Amino acid sequence: MNSIVHEPLAARALDSLNATDLNGRIQAALARIDRTLSQFAEYFPSPSSESGIYSPIDNVEWTNGFWTGMLWLAWQLTGEDRYRSVAEGNIQSFATRVERRINVDHHDLGFLYTLSACAGYQLTGDSLARSAGLEAARLLLKRFDPVAQVIQAWGDMKDPKQRGRMIIDCNLNVPLLYWASRETGNKDFAAAADRHLAQAAKLLVRPDASTFHTFYVDTKTGKSRHGSTHQGHSDDSSWARGQAWGIYGFALAWRHTSDPAYLEIASKLANYFLNRLPTDGICCWDLIFTDDDVTPRDSSAAAIAACGLIELSQALPLSAEMRETYEAWAVAIVKTLGDSYLAPIEGSNALLLHAVYHMPNKAGVDEACIWGDYFYLEALMRLRHPWRPYWA
């Protein structure tokens, strides 16, 4: 097991984020949601901002569920119906989207429906939310290739360029399958999720605990082919957000499977990530960069990693040496995000600035990304309250 060599920031953080401080940070986040609630009542924020401003879009992107998830979090944090009523309006939109098959031919059905429909059903018992979530899970199951044993990330299942291609982000999509298995009693959902995660552990995680963003498996023979990047610096670097999806996703894999191997993988990935942070604790967009000020940060990857570190620290046994260290790092990251990466209340409609959506495509570079906002609020919720994750 690799170890953490760089922890002074975390060591200072644990005592410094008490309930009053967390409440203040939650209020600051809610104030930023409130200023956009009417703008995004019928429309959704775009995946990334331009000059700190999200534009309104229809329910067509892979990212729309993050806004609805933020509304459910805001409702749970406050009990105020203005959040619930917008979130409930979103459920109708997600039900229509899956029924009419609007941009649903990809694996991000998990992000979309876990945070909207499944969260809504968990919190309110709404039957429309349940049926929309189950329909999304059925579509996701159809993306499982029985020879390659992976969920194909993108594109038509017959597209030769995309067949057998898995990506690390999918670790956060498979919870939808576990949920559907529990809801319906149909074990096929969980079996596909189990097999995909086993392949992710085997193929996406390198021996040094860095990760490939994507990996191809031959759909005729089942043999592994090669790793490649899509949003990272290079095929053999570790895209920071991919590593963060891995930390959180493998910690959640333990929650769903009880297989302790996944906790060990999540820990190794976490150590690799934590050892490559610049001095303020917020990762650069690819972990090939470890220095300050040479390349943009990805605050959204930091927020995802913070949630993953909290999930991991809570999953580890009380006696585990690293439990407190991971929690301390999560606190340190959340604190820095709130102190130095929070969008101003005027002139932006986002929560967190300084994220990177897609550097190779020059899309959303040093901008806000809506999933970063969601995971920042989730991290605040997790640090402040005992909370059942929507991913559970």
Q: Give the interface with ligand GLY as residue ranges (CB under 6 A).
A: 169, 231, 241
Give min distance, CB of 169 to ligand GLY, in A.
4
List of residues 6+ apart from 163 with CB closer than 8 A: 145, 148, 152, 157, 219
Cα–Cα distance for residue pair 291/293, rounded to 1 Å: 7
What Cα–Cα distance (Å) separates residue 195 from each residue in 79, 144, 149, 180, 391? 39, 9, 6, 16, 18
Q: Kindly tell me which of 241 and 256 has the beta carbon lying closer to ligand GLY.
A: 241
Q: What is the DSSP letter of 56?
A: E
Least Å distance, CB 384 to ligand GLY, is 25
CA nearest 216: which of 203, 207, 205? 203
Comparing CB distances to ligand GLY, the nearer of 114 and 231 is 231
Q: Give the Å distances, CA to CA, from 21 to 15, 26, 28, 149, 282.
A: 11, 9, 11, 46, 20
Q: C-beta of 304: minimal distance to ligand GLY in Å?
A: 8
Of 43 and 154, CB closest to ligand GLY: 154
Pairwise CA distance, residues 392 & 59, whole Å: 24
Active site residue 366: no
Is 34 an annotated catalytic residue? no
The smaller minimum CB distance to ligand GLY, of residues 181 and 237, is found at 237
| Cα(224)–Cα(51) distance, integer angstroms | 42
Tell me whether residue 48 or residue 181 sits nearer to ligand GLY (CB atom).
48
The rounded distance, in Å, linking the Cα atoms of 24 and 178 is 35
- Out of 15, 81, 105, 108, pick the active-site residue: 108
The one-letter amino acid code at 211 reads T
Task: Give which of 241, 199, 224 is closest to 111, Cα–Cα.
Answer: 241
| Farthest-apart Cα atoms in the chain, separation | 57
Q: What's 211's DSSP letter?
A: B
State which residue, 231 or 325, has the beta carbon closest to ligand GLY.
231
- Residue 38 tokens read as 């009417």
Catalytic residue among 145, 169, 298, 373: 169
End-to-end CA distance of the chain: 27
> What minimum distance in Å lies between the beta carbon of 172 and ligand GLY?
8
Own/partner contacts of 79-85, CB < 8 Å, gap of 24 or more, are 82/37, 83/33, 83/37, 84/124
Supply the minimum distance, in Å, between the C-beta of residue 231 and ligand GLY. Answer: 6
Smallest separation (angstroms) from ligand GLY to the CB of 94: 18
Which H or E run contains 175? helix 175-184
Q: Minimal CB distance to ligand GLY: which residue?
A: 169
Query: Please, which residue, 327 or 372, has the CB nearer to ligand GLY?
Result: 372
In sequence order, what are the residues at sequence separation of 6 or more whose Cβ sits closer than 8 angstroms to the Cβ of residue 153?
Answer: 106, 107, 162, 165, 166, 167, 169, 170, 214
Smallest gap from residue 358 Cβ to ligand GLY (A): 7
Our CB check for ligand GLY shows the closer of 90 and 231 to be: 231
In angstroms, what is the minimal distance from the CB of 190 to ligand GLY?
22
Task: Give the C-alpha separation, 355 to 117, whole Å.
Answer: 26
Angle between helices 240-257 and 260-274 (to 10 degrees): 160
Residues designated catalytic: 108, 169
